Amino acid sequence: MRLNRREFVSLAGAAAVSSSVRVRAGASNITFAPELDSLKAYRAPEWFRDAKLGFWACWGPEAVPEMGDWYARNMYIQGHKQYEDHLKRYGHPSKFGYKDLVPLWRGENWNPDRLMSLYKKAGAKYFCAIAQHHDNIDCWNSRFHRWNSVKMGPRRDVIGEWRDAARKHGLRFGVTEHLAASWNWYGVAHLSDATGPLAGVPYDGANPEYADLYHTGNAFPKWKQWIGDVPESFQREWFNRIKDLVDSYQPDLLYSDSSLPFGEYGRRLLAHFYNSNILSNNSRLEAVYNCKFNDDGGQFADGMCVQDLERGIQDGIKPLPWQTDTCVGDWYYKRDIQYKTPTTVIQMLIDIVSKNGNLLLNFPVRADGTLDSQEEDILASIADWMAINGEAIYGTRPWRVYGEGPTGPSSGNFNEGKIRYTSDDIRLTTKEGQLFAFALAWPASGKLLLRSITSGQVHSIQMLQTGETLKWEQQPAGLSIQLPAQPVGEHAFVIRIQGVA
């Protein structure tokens, strides 16, 4: 499909992006046009490669019931636990629908500056905020959508305030958009109960008064496609709203919970994001675009964007930087959930960094705008570990191998729950002539054997936590390191090796 310029003019008359911007970011001149061959010239900036750790806030009306992710969809599926909870607490979705939850999202205790200080102390180098979930609520002063956080809910420019707090604290700022799947996702809101006293009574999504929230033409009982089979009118709406987000807040990072959406609409949006970032950064490309997969003909190996794995990891070192996104609990706040422990978080971070990746970790925010005490405790524990061991994380690159040991699931999404690290699992990073070895659990033998190092000129070995010089011996089986008599620190233990390049 080829689209002319008029079809890309927004409702407010804003012209579509020019593709004539040229880059002089340490490379030959590049023109980012909305074509795959042009977009493949993209390479991730050094700030992202060095950052390694970002925190994310998924926050919106779906936090109100404290029932976790996908509430705005599942509350319309008879028999689902979120439907049953909604029925008991709020009433039938024909009478009290998702639209009626929006005013209950008040954010009365939200202090983005305080939260950002916690994220920074815990080691974040970038911060991302959800701009809108599949629930179709824009968390900014949207020019194209009345269902937004300035006109409804907290009546605050959530994205703008997150951005200002992030930049005040010296963090790169990102936004995540989940809009592309909303049209298919919301189809169930147009249906009705199949059984019971209100069988056949349409849910509130069928009311044309709220078509701009629940969409039109999408009343079907079963899941169709994530972003496929969507009307072109909605594709244009996606383009206008996400372009408005990019233009209004100039994020360093943009993330799509999908592939790059909607063919040429997506390519034009991505070219515009890169080109506008270049203009605002003195001709340097500092932008990062994350997406989950690529069904538009390009491959992650080509560049074009940074691959994101949801709740997953890679099985080895990847030549291009990538990112895992996961959360300490559920994506949206859920009461009585068991959170990831700080040990689990730190072990994941180490494994990901050793394979050329970044970790983006969500701490779900309650409807009032606060984290609970457990979340703050996890952040504090991560902060303590990163304050001592962060130099082995930030600015590092993978070594010749990512590490050793038996734990190594295949690459993919949603594989994090299969990981159980042992004292035999070692991960490696390198920086400025130093090799850092992470023991993901303390060896009962009191010795660490690095089988990957069978030769080389080792100058010195230290325990990073204490600076203590450790004894070592080069053996045919590898480098044997004598550890302190008792475990030092928590979660994972870092050895600095000088002299092994």
Tens-digit pLDDT profile for residues 93-124: 999 999 999 999 999 999 999 999 999 999 99
pTM for the full predicted model: 0.93
Q: Tokens 């230290």 belong to which residue?
A: 462
* Residue 270 and residue 132 in one domain: yes
pLDDT at 462 (0 to 100): 97
Quick one: 171 and 275 in the same domain? yes
Per-residue model confidence (pLDDT) at position 447: 94
Kindly list the distances between the CA atom of residue 8 and the CA atoms of 3, 456, 497, in Å, as whole numbers in the listed order: 8, 59, 55
Q: Are residues 38 and 149 in the same domain?
A: yes
- Alpha-carbon distance of 299 to 232, in angstroms, equals 25
- Return the structure tokens found at 76: 């319309």
* Res 239: pLDDT: 98
HSE (side-chain half, CA atoms, 13 Å) at 82: 21
Domain limits at 480? 397-498
Judge whether 230 lies within some domain.
Answer: yes
**How many Å apart are CA 252 and CA 285, to the nearest integer?**
10
Is 161 inside any structural domain?
Answer: yes
pLDDT (tens digit, 0 to 9) for every residue of the chain, 501 residues total?
Answer: 334 433 343 333 333 333 344 444 434 356 799 999 899 999 999 999 999 999 999 999 999 999 999 999 999 999 999 999 999 999 999 999 999 999 999 999 999 999 999 999 999 999 999 999 999 999 999 999 999 999 999 999 999 999 999 999 999 999 999 999 999 999 999 999 999 999 999 999 999 999 999 999 999 877 778 898 899 999 999 999 999 999 999 999 999 999 999 999 999 999 999 999 999 999 999 999 999 876 654 556 567 899 999 999 899 999 999 999 999 999 999 999 999 999 999 999 999 999 999 999 999 999 999 999 999 999 999 999 999 999 999 999 999 999 999 866 667 776 787 677 888 899 999 999 999 999 999 998 999 999 999 877 899 999 999 999 999 999 999 999 999 999 988 999 999 999 886
- Please, which residues have CB within 8 angstroms of residue 142's CB and are 6 or more apart in sequence? 148, 150, 241, 244, 245
Answer with the one of 282, 310, 338 that is the final residue of a domain.
310
What is the domain-level CATH number for residue 474?
A: 2.60.40.1180
Spatial CB neighbours of 4, under 8 Å, sequence gap ≥ 6: none
Of 49, 10, 38, 4, the C-alpha closest to 271 is 38
Domain boundary among 274, 290, 310: 310
Q: Which amino acid is at 439?
A: A
- Answer yes or no: do 28 and 175 share one domain: yes
pLDDT of 66 reads 98
Task: Report CA-CA distances (Å) from 110 to 101, 138, 335, 370.
Answer: 18, 17, 18, 6
- For the chain, the domain total comes to 2
For residues 417 and 294, membership in a common domain is answered with no
Question: E strand or H helix at 478, and its extent?
Answer: strand 478-482
In a domain, 469, yes or no: yes
Question: In Å, how far are 53, 346, 386, 388 from 381, measured between CA atoms?
Answer: 15, 10, 9, 12
Tell me: do 279 and 166 sit in the same domain: yes
Same domain, 173 and 25: yes
For residues 25 and 155, membership in a common domain is answered with: yes
Half-sphere exposure of 327 (CA within 13 A, CB side): 19
One-letter amino acid for residue 127 of the chain:
F
In a domain, 115, yes or no: no
Q: What is the pLDDT of residue 4?
A: 41
358-370: b or e for each residue (b if 16 or more CB lie within 10 Å)? bbbbbbbbbbebb
Which pLDDT does position 9 carry in this prediction? 39
To which H or E segment does residue 119 belong? helix 112-121
pLDDT of residue 228: 83
Of 262, 291, 310, the one marking the end of a domain is: 310
**CA triplet 74, 80, 83: central angle to 5 degrees?**
65
